[in-house]
Amino acid sequence: MLTIADLKVSYGRITALRGVSLDVQDGEFVGLVGPNGAGKSTLVHSVAGVVSPTAGEIRLDSRSLVGAPPEQIVKWGVSLVPEGRQIFTRLTVAENLGLGATTRTDASAIREDIERIFERFPSLRQLRGTLAGKLSGGEQQQVAIARALLARPKLLMLDEPSLGLAPLMIDGVFAWLRELHESGTTILLVEQNAARTIEAADRTYVLSNGEIVRSVARSEAEDTINLVETYLGVGRDRVT
Nearest Cα to Cα of residue 135 among 126, 152, 116: 126
- Report yes or no on 84 lying in a domain: no
- Report yes or no on 145 lying in a domain: yes
Amino acid 239: pLDDT: 40
Name 214's bridge partners. Answer: 206
One domain for residues 168 and 221: yes
Are 193 and 164 in contact, with CB atoms under 8 Å apart?
Answer: no
Amino acid 39: pLDDT: 94
One domain for residues 55 and 7: yes
- Report yes or no on 56 lying in a domain: yes
One domain for residues 160 and 176: yes
One domain for residues 63 and 114: no
Nearest Cα to Cα of residue 103 among 147, 66, 61: 147
One domain for residues 161 and 215: yes
- Report yes or no on 83 lying in a domain: no
One domain for residues 65 and 104: no
One domain for residues 68 and 185: yes
Nearest Cα to Cα of residue 34 among 176, 168, 213, 221: 213
Please tell me the number of Cα atoms within 13 Å of 170 on its side-chain side.
16
Give the domain CATH number at 229.
Answer: 3.40.50.300
One domain for residues 162 and 143: no
| Domain end point (choices 122, 152, 182) | 152
Nearest Cα to Cα of residue 1 among 59, 71, 76, 56: 59
One domain for residues 102 and 200: no
Looking at the 3D structure of the chain, how many domains does it have?
Answer: 2
Residues 122 and 133: their CA atoms lie apart, in Å, by 19
One domain for residues 144 and 46: no
Low-confidence ranges of the chain (pLDDT < 70): 221-240
Nearest Cα to Cα of residue 139 among 189, 100, 186, 85: 85
- Report yes or no on 82 lying in a domain: no
- Report yes or no on 55 lying in a domain: yes
One domain for residues 181 and 202: yes
- Report yes or no on 108 lying in a domain: yes
Amino acid 214: pLDDT: 87
Q: Provide the whole-model pTM.
A: 0.88
| Domain end point (choices 102, 118, 152) | 152
Please tell me the number of Cα atoms within 13 Å of 147 on its side-chain side.
27
Q: What is the pLDDT of residues 129-139, one digit of tens each?
A: 999 999 998 89
Full domain range(s) for residue 72:
2-77+153-238
One domain for residues 56 and 11: yes
